[in-house]
Amino acid sequence: MDLILFLKAAIMGIVEGVTEFLPISSTGHLILASELMNFWTKEKSDVFVIAIQVGAIAAVIYEYWGKLWGAATGLVTGEKKGRHLGISLILASIPIMIVGLTYGQKVKELLFNDISVALGLIVGGLIIWWVEKHPPKINAVEVEQISIKEAFYIGLIQVLALIPGMSRSGATIIGAMTLGVSRKAATEFSFFLGIPVIVGAGVLDLYQSYHVFDTRLDWWVLGFGTLVSFISALILIRVLVAYVAKRDFMIFAWYRIASGLIILLFVLTGWKLW
């Protein structure tokens, strides 16, 4: 029984690592995967879904340690590029921190369900499709060239990520692109912007709900899932950066729309996948 639980945790970790930085909603996929596998109790599964995202964001810190350290030290030393990136990330993180702390738990209670995920996937897919069909003029090729004003606007757009199915990566990447940021720079900025948001959300959720993990086994399962999400996310980050250098996001738009419609079909007709 324990082995099956660890296997399901590994699958959840892979789903998180693969989907966290793609514009297809990691939370939505984790909710659906959890229900598909009947993974744990709903209380434990909901906390697990948020907490293992820390593993994925640890992969970003590992992969981009040089730039992130430069941004952190630049705030103190005044080094131009590092300071600019550091200030941009701080300002862009403020909106979702405020809204998340105020309404995050309520959103979780109301919208962590199949219908919300399906609608979020479809709407997000349509937005990606429109942006790819009407590409704006690029004015920021590298992540350090994103202006303070643009960074704050991206932060406002990131608030949409509280809705399951909308996708934090999708909102920030596509939002940045509408402001004239290149795909590569938008993708990297989205990686970096996830650090305070995901770590903050994971720590807060564990603090508020740690009591649901009432055995040592529960914590081992959580730790194992987090480790798997780190490894799979590290692989995905490297693949995605290479992908966006040559291709657009249209495939993700169609994937979101198709998967959202399929989920709606099953929910509204009462058909069961499991």
In the structure encoding, which two tokens stand for residue 26, read together?
Answer: 């990691």
Please report, in angstroms and rounded to a whole number, the separation of the first and last CA atoms in the chain. 19
E strand segments, the chain: none
Whether 255 maps to a domain, the answer reads: yes
DSSP string, 111-129: H-SHHHHHHHHHHHHHHHH
Whether 103 maps to a domain, the answer reads: no
In the prediction, which pLDDT does 228 show?
97
In the prediction, which pLDDT does 109 show?
78
Whether 195 maps to a domain, the answer reads: yes
Whether 101 maps to a domain, the answer reads: no
**Tally of structural domains, the chain:** 1
- 50: nearest Cα among 169, 222, 173: 222
Whether 106 maps to a domain, the answer reads: no
pTM, 2 dp: 0.86
Whether 180 maps to a domain, the answer reads: yes
pLDDT means per 10 residues, the chain with 274 residues, are: 88 94 87 86 87 93 94 91 94 92 80 85 94 91 94 94 87 94 93 89 84 91 96 95 90 94 85 52
In the prediction, which pLDDT does 274 show?
45
Whether 243 maps to a domain, the answer reads: yes
In the prediction, which pLDDT does 133 show?
93
Whether 92 maps to a domain, the answer reads: no
| Domain that includes residue 206, residue range | 2-64+113-142+160-269
